[in-house]
Amino acid sequence: MKKRVLIFSFFLLTSIAFFAQRERVEYLPSFDKRKLHYGFYLGLNQNDFKISLRENANVANANITVEPTAGFNVGLIADLRLHKNLNLRFEPGLMTNAKKIYFNHLTTPRDSVRDVSSTYLHVPLLLKFSTDRYKNIRPYVLGGVSYNYNFSSNEANQDDNSAGQFRMKTSNFMYELGVGIDIYLYFFKFSPSIRGVFAINNEIKYDDDVNSKWTAPVNYMGTRGVFLTLAFE
């Protein structure tokens, strides 16, 4: 699924850029001279978990896999011009997604599957490096860090996996890398981009039992995902 998202995103960006650069009229010629401008974005995401297991865990033959599904993200944009080719961007928004975690070393359906549906307050601070404008297009790369507040974390829940509750930490930090194209249209600038999002901290909330058959084998569990973002500025 993630490979199909990347292929679709690549063809979307290249197709839009091809048609935009054929326009003879240069739209919004003074847009990039603004010190500060605003916008909003919509997008799709597919988030997975990167999982590493402990070698000396007290759980025999531990095997954990994740099945992700597509989610949705929406938010606002504040863009500050630092240099003709460098901008600082603040993009707070909401992100939703769902995953199934399979504990393949457990035999009963009640124990072996956990549904993790999450809604995040996603707050990235990004640096955007753009090329010089060519007609009505301007490619760019961006990168930065983000804070994510997980409204669905269950971190404070007294129940854990022994009672069927899989818990994640509420506050998490990530870094983001991406590429995109600014496309200047008659009334606004349209900016599709593809981004990778990677967790910095360990997001799992361990069970109270240090020998838990669910969390004891896990050394690290952190989000990794792909975003397809459509910005309107």
Region at 154 (left for phi over 0; alpha for psi -120 to 50; beta for the rest):
left
pTM: 0.84
Three-state DSSP at 10 gives helix
pLDDT by residue for the chain (233 residues), tens only, comes to 445 555 555 555 555 555 555 556 888 888 999 999 999 999 999 988 999 888 766 666 778 899 888 899 999 999 999 999 999 999 999 999 999 999 888 888 788 889 888 899 999 999 999 999 988 999 999 999 999 999 988 888 888 888 888 899 999 999 999 999 999 998 999 999 999 999 999 999 999 888 888 888 899 999 999 999 999 99
- All structural domains of the chain with their residue ranges: 2-232
Give the list of residues 6+ apart from residue 28 with CB closer than 8 angstroms, or none. Answer: 184, 185, 188, 189
Q: What is the mean pLDDT of the chain?
A: 87
d(CA 122, CA 91): 8
Concatenate the DSSP letters of all residues of 164-229 into one string: T---B-SEEEEEEEEEEEEEE-SSSEEEEEEEEEEE-S--B---SSTT-TTTTTEEEEEEEEEEEE
Quickly tell me which residue has 């954990």 as its tokens.
64
Give the list of residues 6+ apart from residue 40 with CB closer than 8 angstroms, or none. Answer: 74, 75, 76, 77, 231, 232
pLDDT digits (tens, 9 = 90+) for 143-167: 999 999 999 888 888 888 888 888 9
What is the per-residue pLDDT for 211? 84
Query: What CATH class is the domain 2-232?
Result: mainly beta
